[in-house]
Structure 1
Amino acid sequence: MISNQSWSDARQVWNHHLMHHTPRPCSVIVGLGSHDLGVADMSAGFYLRGLAPVIVFTGSTSPTTRERMPRGEAVHYRERAVELGVPVSAVLVEPNARNTGENIRFSRALLEEAGVNVESVLLVSKPYEERRAYATTRKLWPGVDIVSASSPMTFEEYVDSIGDDRMVVDMLVGTLQRLLVYPAQGFTIEQPVPDEVAEAYERLVAAGFTSRLIRQGTA
């Protein structure tokens, strides 16, 4: 049972992760692989609205997705986008990335190889990964304009859609830890964390929401 205080803290951390960018036309849509097919749905929707001429789906598998997406996250995302009406010819698949840094580096290399001129990226992730995805891309792909987007859901709607309350809160906590420690490791740009968000994070860690925390110094 998750306490009222922990729910309140988790909602505050969730709100911090959102960038509130307005989707607009970009050179390419990059959908970051994960357990959440909502990323594929949003990427397809943006393409069908004419916001970019090409989509890159990037991602291998992880312990969370190995059973759900045995052919790899990017491949499952492409299949979903095609079901929704995106032409196969408009989708590039990057099937090897195992973390956000690799998502960006490998997608950038794939687009360069394909001869796609990239001035701006419509970056699609899970809602609580918006800020970290943005910070990672700014670090690893300087010079491009970045719009960070996700499914427009409230915290409660997202928890209900995933069906595992504790996993979502653990992931919120793990993502914020990475925002705090990754700049010093050269993985992301600095993103200031307000005191009240940092305090909410510390309370969640103390309450045991720690399964997604990393040992500092690991990628």
Structure 2
Amino acid sequence: MFSNIATFLAIACSVSSTFSAPIRREVPQEHSHEQFLTTVRASLNLNNPDGIQDPVFGLLGNAAAVAGAGKIADATCLQQATADQAFTNAKAAGDVDGQVAALIYRALERNSGQVGLVTAPCTSIKAKNPEIAAIQQHQDPASTNAAAVNKAITLELAKQIAAVGGNPQDALKSGTFAPGNLNDSTGKGNTCDTLDDPVGCIFTQNLLVEDASADEIDAAVAPSSDS
């Protein structure tokens, strides 16, 4: 089922902000799941051969992401590369929580420039860890087929979390916001982006929309499940 997700994705560019120099932008949400950025940052800093400046850059649109991409030539792949290195480091350290955070981070929605736009899949770089390679980022909830796409991502994420010894129900924390209005000229949609919320404003402001039920997560990771 997850292998079909790529067919729902289309290439889109987005303009956002850098971590160190915020500017006027559309659909800011890169800090909405801050707890996972914090954990991924700690794992990434254990060994960062590509010089990625911070995990937040991987959640920005390409025009801003490139400023923190280090040696990653394709900004479209920065989120995957960040997650992949953080996962590698956490695995080497025997850190299950770090591995789970890297998996969830990989599944988070990236900023897009407009309500309803999708962000492109990474095609130029292959993840070293199959657990990371199995996951794509959530898409704007107002985009075409978003409910089906994001549900499939969450269920696959649950499988990968279970495989490393984490709680598969944590996959639901990768969910995004309620769909925005396609006619919203501001491009903001239903988002939040609070820098000083260590948990993540999508959680503390009760804005998270879960993509699946707890029972569906359990079914996805059950030994007999091959979907």
TM-score by length of 1: 0.32
Name the structure with the higher helix share: 1
Q: Which one has the bigger strand percentage? A: 1
What is the TM-score when the length of structure 2 is the normalising length?
0.32
